[in-house]
């Protein structure tokens, strides 16, 4: 039997590498790179050789800023949020600006992306699709929101495991630039609470933090300023955990003009309310129409019934036919509402499943420090 090979003192306590380990390092690195390219959201920290403590690092944060002709304010906004969130990725989305918004944002140190289709809803859709992060902070580029509250909004998402934190504008009545905007904001908030539930005090705030689950499961069908309404309804429909933080709302700096048009945007928001009500609560929506048609039919039929009881005759035959048609339409509306309500519930179940399919923060630390 051959004698065992001698072991030198310097080799004692040192484990010999397994056969093929050295040759496998290149293949392992190539595999990690291939996985990162094919699956951008896959965590390949173990393939990169990171320790569990490094893999459980703080969640990544992206500050996304929709802009249209905000050259006067965007540099200040980028600087303020860079100071408040030094580790965050700051991305400015230029929505067909005719001034030098993109150049100013780039000089201020932000990433700049472009969305050619006009409207804030189109920008939000592009932001949510193209930017990858664990926590998203969306803020308007007009300089009216306080960057000092950004860590508190993000902490709500991370520490309390909620999906949307809204920076409710505390002093909007005094800083809304036009009295009509403040009054309209109150009326629309009241209408929203009446139709969809009292989940929010300020549905039109442009200062919000989102979880990754919310962002990647949000359909974003709106094209303009009505996108905030869609964000609120999405959260209400899926019963997602949300919160509000009162934040100050400042006036626009001199030289910066508001892009809102009171009448046009107000009508768009009303139309969005109707559309979302039809899509999310069809039984209620069509029930209102059915009730209105039935009430009109009854009002028209009462005089006919009185005449018929007195004389046994129906002298106004066209009115009687109209009443019959209105009642038939009322029944048809109610039937449509009940059928569509079942479909709407099925859609909510599918959206909920898609929401749950998106990875959350379970693999990362549950607290974040700035």
- Is 20 part of a structural domain of the chain? no
Tens-digit pLDDT profile for residues 258-290: 666 667 777 888 888 888 899 889 999 999 999
Looking at residue 136, its pLDDT comes to 96
Residues 260 and 329 in one domain: no
Q: How many domains are contained in the chain?
A: 2
Q: Across residues 1-21, what is the average pLDDT?
A: 45
List CB contacts of 246: < 8 A, sequence separation 6 or more.
Answer: 168, 170
| Burial class of residue 57, CB neighbours in 10 A (0-12, 13-18, 19+) | exposed
Q: Among candidates 125, 115, 119, 139, which has minimal Cα distance to 61? A: 139
Percent of the chain with pLDDT over 70: 75
Looking at residue 253, its pLDDT comes to 66
- Is 250 part of a structural domain of the chain? yes
- Is 48 part of a structural domain of the chain? no
- Is 23 part of a structural domain of the chain? no
Strand, coil or helix: 209 = strand
Looking at residue 156, its pLDDT comes to 93
Looking at residue 200, its pLDDT comes to 75
Residues 215 and 92 in one domain: yes
Name the pairing type of β-strands 164-169 and 208-211.
Answer: antiparallel
Residues 230 and 348 in one domain: no
Strand, coil or helix: 90 = strand
- Is 13 part of a structural domain of the chain? no
65's enclosing H/E stretch is strand 61-67
Percent of the chain with pLDDT over 90: 44
CATH number where 146 lies: 3.90.550.10
User: How many Å apart are CA 161 and CA 338, to the nearest integer?
Assistant: 35
In angstroms, the first-to-last Cα distance of the chain is 66
Q: Across residues 73-98, what is the average pLDDT?
A: 94
Residues 199 and 73 in one domain: yes
Which residue is listed with tokens 């009448």? 263
Residues 210 and 231 in one domain: yes
Range of the domain at 75: 61-280
Residues 270 and 302 in one domain: no
Looking at residue 31, its pLDDT comes to 46
Looking at residue 270, its pLDDT comes to 87
Q: Across residues 160-186, what is the average pLDDT?
A: 73
pLDDT over threshold 80, residue 194: yes
Residues 151 and 227 in one domain: yes
Residues 251 and 112 in one domain: yes
Q: What's the angle, vertex CA 155, arms to CA 211 and CA 56, rounded to 5?
A: 75
List for the chain the helix, strand, coil content (%; round to 5). 55, 10, 35
The answer, as to whether pTM is greater than 0.75, is no
- Is 12 part of a structural domain of the chain? no
Across the chain, how many H-helices and E-strands are there?
13, 7
Looking at residue 365, its pLDDT comes to 46
Residues 70 and 206 in one domain: yes
Tens-digit pLDDT profile for residues 290-343: 999 999 999 999 999 988 888 888 888 889 999 999 999 999 999 999 999 999
Give the residue from 280, 313, 341 where a domain finishes: 280
Give the residue from 280, 311, 331 where a domain finishes: 280
Q: For the sheet containing 111-114, what is the strand order?
A: 111-114, 89-94, 61-67, 135-138, 208-211, 164-169, 242-247
Residues 184 and 245 in one domain: yes
Which of the four pLDDT bands, split at 50, 70 and 90, describes residue 184?
A: confident
Residues 89 and 205 in one domain: yes
Our measurement of the distance from residue 309's CA atom to the centroid of its chain's CA atoms, rounded to an integer in Å, reads 59
- Is 337 part of a structural domain of the chain? yes
- Is 287 part of a structural domain of the chain? yes
Give the residue from 233, 263, 280 where a domain finishes: 280
User: How many Å apart are CA 142 and CA 92, to the nearest integer?
Assistant: 12
Which residue is listed with tokens 């700035």? 370
Q: Among candidates 198, 341, 195, 199, which has minimal Cα distance to 270? A: 195
Looking at residue 137, its pLDDT comes to 96
Residues 139 and 214 in one domain: yes
Q: Among candidates 53, 76, 39, 26, which has minimal Cα distance to 250? A: 76
């Amino acid at each position: 039997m051959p004698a065992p090979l001698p072991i030198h003192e310097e080799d004692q306590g040192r484990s010999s590498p397994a056969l093929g380990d050295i040759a496998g390092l290149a293949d392992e690195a190539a595999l990690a790179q291939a996985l990162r390219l094919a699956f951008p959201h896959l965590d390949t920290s173990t393939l990169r050789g990171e320790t569990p403590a490094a893999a459980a690092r703080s969640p990544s944060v992206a500050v996304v800023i929709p802009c249209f002709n905000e050259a006067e304010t965007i540099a200040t906004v980028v600087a303020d949020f860079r100071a408040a969130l030094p580790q965050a990725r700051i991305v400015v989305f230029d929505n067909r600006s005719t001034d030098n918004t993109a150049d100013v944002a780039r000089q201020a140190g932000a990433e700049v992306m472009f969305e050619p289709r006009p409207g804030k809803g189109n920008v939000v859709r592009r932001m949510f699709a193209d930017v990858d992060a664990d926590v998203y902070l969306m803020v308007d580029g007009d300089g009216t929101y306080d960057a000092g509250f950004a860590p508190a909004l993000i902490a709500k998402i991370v520490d309390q495991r909620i999906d949307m934190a809204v920076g409710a504008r505390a002093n909007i009545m005094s800083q809304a630039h036009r009295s009509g905007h403040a009054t309209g904001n109150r009326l629309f908030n009241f209408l929203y609470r009446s139709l969809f539930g009292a989940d929010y005090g300020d549905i039109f705030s442009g200062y919000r933090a989102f979880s990754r689950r919310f962002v990647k499961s949000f359909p974003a069908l709106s094209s303009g300023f009505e996108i905030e309404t869609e964000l609120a309804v999405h959260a209400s429909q899926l019963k997602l955990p949300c919160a509000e933080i009162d934040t100050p709302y400042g006036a626009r700096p001199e030289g910066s003009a508001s892009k809102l048009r009171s009448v046009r945007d107000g009508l768009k928001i009303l139309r969005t309310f109707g559309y979302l009500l039809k899509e999310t609560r069809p039984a209620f929506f069509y029930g209102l129409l059915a009730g209105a048609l039935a009430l009109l039919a009854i009002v028209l039929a009462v005089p006919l019934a009185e005449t018929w009881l007195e004389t046994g005759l129906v002298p106004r035959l066209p009115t009687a036919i109209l009443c019959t048609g209105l009642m038939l339409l009322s029944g048809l509306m109610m039937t449509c509402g009940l059928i569509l309500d079942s479909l709407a519930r099925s859609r909510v179940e599918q959206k909920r499943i898609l929401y749950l399919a998106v990875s959350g923060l379970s693999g990362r630390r549950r607290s974040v420090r700035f």
